[in-house]
Amino acid sequence: MLIRTLDLLRCPFCGTRLSVLENAALDRGPDRIESAVLGCECCAFPLIAGIPVLIADDATRDAMHALEAGRRDDALHKLLGLDETRGNVFRRLTSGDREPTYRELLDVLCPDAEADYMLHRFSDPTALLVEALLDGLGTAGTPGAARTPPAATASPALAGAGTSLPPKSVARPPARGRSAVSSGLALDLCGGCGHLTRVLLRQPACAGAVLADLHFWKLWLAARFLAPESDPVCCDANNPLPFTDGLFSTVLLSDAFPYIWHKRLLAGEMQRVATGDGVIAMPHLHSAHGENYSAGDTLSPAAYANLFATLKPRLFDDRNLLNRVLDDRVLDLANHTLPAACGDTPSITLVASRDGALYRHYPVADPLDVTGVLVVNPLYRVDYADGVSRLTLTFPTAEYEDEFAPVKRYLPASVTVGADLRNAITRASAGPEYAELRRRRILIDAPPRYC
């Protein structure tokens, strides 16, 4: 953790500042703290692997005591939730000569179905829509950002693959002027392993991002792979948020609010930590009037909106948003849906801001840039022979295929590419189909050692 991050933090229980205790647990460099015990006027919290853990429970307390006793590996394993068997595998992976991949560590740290979600997050329909939302809001105020995208064209190499190709869009314009999203610090709340934090950090005006989640193992993976430039904070969103007032110009809470019990508290906290002219974005809110996998404790669209009434939030039917993104390459924030008109839609997106100018159309840019490395989407099996890679869409489970069936709108069942896609891939080696392979998420921009 950067030492200056301490200025952003407050105890979630008493609200006082946190300070570093000078004891055997402290490992501090010129500008970072790797391990420490943090104290306020009511509690003590461990900081392990650069991640402050602002939670009061037995596991956190045991980890802090192990840290103070000099057993740093033991403290880490306690917070990662490793039993003896998985702990041995984890030690073998992290102590060898070869750096483990995100996928390998994910299999150890998450031995249940959530691992499939966390591995394939880059191309699932919800993440695709949130990426378009953040990119759109991130260019609000940019001259020319509301241009109409050009008409669709299709590459003959992928024609007949079983799905229609979304239209091409303009390349992302350079940022000029004020950006509605990420004009300062951003908060990715309940942000998991950092897939969307990565999107926030690439916004031109982003001054930094805090990634907050209840699960330490997700933050540990985020810091190691997906969002190493973020500030991870382990906290419970059912409690007051451990941040100062008016800190974040963007507060993102995607696909998690229905699982929070203290919704009224959290809604108030999100508004407290947001700047006065900031944006609160809540994609994929499960509606009580629709059907959802793992629905959580859902509310009606009207109830969600009422929690943010002072900001006059607008609701958007996720089905309509996704259709416009895929079919027209447009993010449509100009046409919101009244709560009573949401009907039985499974999920909605809530956007709340005092800046009414951001509610308009945004072109969806082609994802052509590479910030990490190009890899084949892990949903594909790759077979190579005679200079040709044959990709076959292969879902991890029948349940995943059913829940995320909309991926079939842009991921074809099979693809043939005249290149070797088994190892390092470049834009040049992918050939003339590069733009289409990226747009359809057949090739993804992943962090190094992702899979």
pTM: 0.90
Angle at the Cα of 307 from the Cα atoms of 304 and 312, rounded to 5 degrees: 90
DSSP 311-359: G--EEEEHHHHHHHHHHHSEEE-SS---GGG-TT-SEEEEEEES-GGG-
Cα–Cα distance between 90 and 402 in angstroms, integer?
32
CATH number of this structure's domain 119-363: 3.40.50.150
Nearest to 215 by CA among 104, 127, 112: 112
- Asked if residues 421 and 415 have their Cβ atoms less than 8 Å apart, the reply is no
Pinpoint the alpha helices (H) of 42-83: 58-68, 72-80
Residues 6+ apart with CB under 8 A from 48: 35, 63, 67, 72, 75, 76, 79, 216
* Domain ranges for the chain: 3-80, 119-363, 373-446
Neighbours of 204 (CB within 10 A): 15
Residue 200, helix vs strand vs coil: helix
DSSP 135-169: HHHHTTT-TTTTPPPPPP---GGGTTSSSPPPPP-
The DSSP letter of residue 80 is H
> Residue 249 is inside which H or E element, if any?
strand 248-253
pLDDT tens digit at each of 451 positions of the chain: 999 999 999 999 999 999 999 999 999 999 999 999 999 999 999 999 999 999 999 999 999 999 999 999 999 999 999 999 999 999 999 998 899 999 999 999 999 999 999 999 999 999 999 999 999 998 764 433 333 333 343 443 453 343 333 333 333 333 333 444 434 899 999 999 999 999 999 998 889 999 999 999 999 999 999 999 999 999 999 999 999 999 999 999 999 999 999 999 999 999 999 999 999 999 999 999 988 888 789 999 999 999 999 999 999 999 999 999 999 999 999 999 999 999 999 999 999 999 999 999 999 988 899 999 999 999 999 999 999 999 999 999 999 999 999 999 999 999 999 999 998 999 999 989 999 999 999 999 999 999 9
Whose tokens are 């995100």? That residue is 102
Strands 33-39 and 44-48, by their bridges, are: antiparallel
> Residue 52 is inside which H or E element, if any?
strand 51-52
Cα–Cα distance between 443 and 377 in angstroms, integer?
5
Token pair for 390: 């044959």
